[in-house]
Amino acid sequence: MECAEHNGTIRSGVGMTAHQEHNGAWWRGAVAYQVYVRSFRDSNGDGIGDLPGVTQSLDDLAKLGVNAIWLNPCYLSPQHDHGYDIADYRQILPDYGTLADFDQLVAHAHTRDIRVLMDIVPNHCSSEHQWFIDATSAGPGSPERDRFIFADGEGDGSQPPNDWPSVFGGSAWDRLDDGTENPQWYLHLFDSTQPDFNWRNPDVRTEFLDILRFWFDRGVDGFRIDVAHGMVKSLPIPRGTHADQSGLWTQPELFEIYSQWRQLAESYDPPKYFVGEAWVNDPEVFTRFTAPGHLQQSFAFDLLVQPWFAYRLRRSIEQSFAVAGQEDGPAWALANHDVHRLVTRLGQERIDKDPDPFDMLADARRDTPVNTALGKRRARAATALLFALPGTVYVYQGEELGLPEVLDLPDWARQDPMWIRTNGQQRGRDGCRVPLPWKKRGSSMGFGPDGASAPWLPQPEEFRAWARDEQGEDPTSMLSLYMRLGGLRRQLVGSAHRVHWADQVPEEVLAFSAGRLFCATNTGGEDVEVQVPQGAQMLLNTAVADCDVHLLDNGMSLADGTDFDSRTWCLPADSTSWWSLNGGADTE
Amino acid at residue number 527? D
What is the crossing angle of helices 372-387 and 478-492, to 10°? Answer: 20
Q: Helix and strand tally (H, E) in the chain?
A: 15, 21
Rounded CA separation 518/204 (Å): 48
Rounded-to-integer distance, Cα 556 and Cα 140, Å: 70
Q: Which amino acid is at 419?
A: W
Q: 88 catalytic, yes or no?
A: no
- Farthest-apart Cα atoms in the chain, separation: 86
Q: Which residues contact 434 (CB under 8 A, 6 or more apart)?
A: 39, 403, 406, 409, 455, 457, 458, 459, 460, 463
Other beta carbons within 10 angstroms of residue 479's beta carbon come to 22
DSSP-based helix, strand, coil % in the chain, nearest 5? 25, 20, 55
Between the two ends of the chain, the Cα-to-Cα distance in Å is 36
Q: Are 371 and 349 in contact (CB under 8 A)?
A: yes
Distance CA 274, CA 511 (A): 30
Report residue 563 CA to chain centroid gap.
36
Q: Say whether 156 is catalytic.
A: no
User: Which residue among 42, 95, 277, 400 is the active-site one?
Assistant: 277
**Measured between alpha carbons, how far is 80 from 193 in angstroms, rounded to an integer?**
7
Measured CA to CA, the distance from residue 487 to residue 339 in angstroms comes to 27
Question: Which one of the listed residues 81, 226, 430, 529 is annotated catalytic?
Answer: 226
Q: Report the distance separating Cα 48 and Cα 42, nearest Å.
A: 5
> Which positions are catalytic?
226, 277
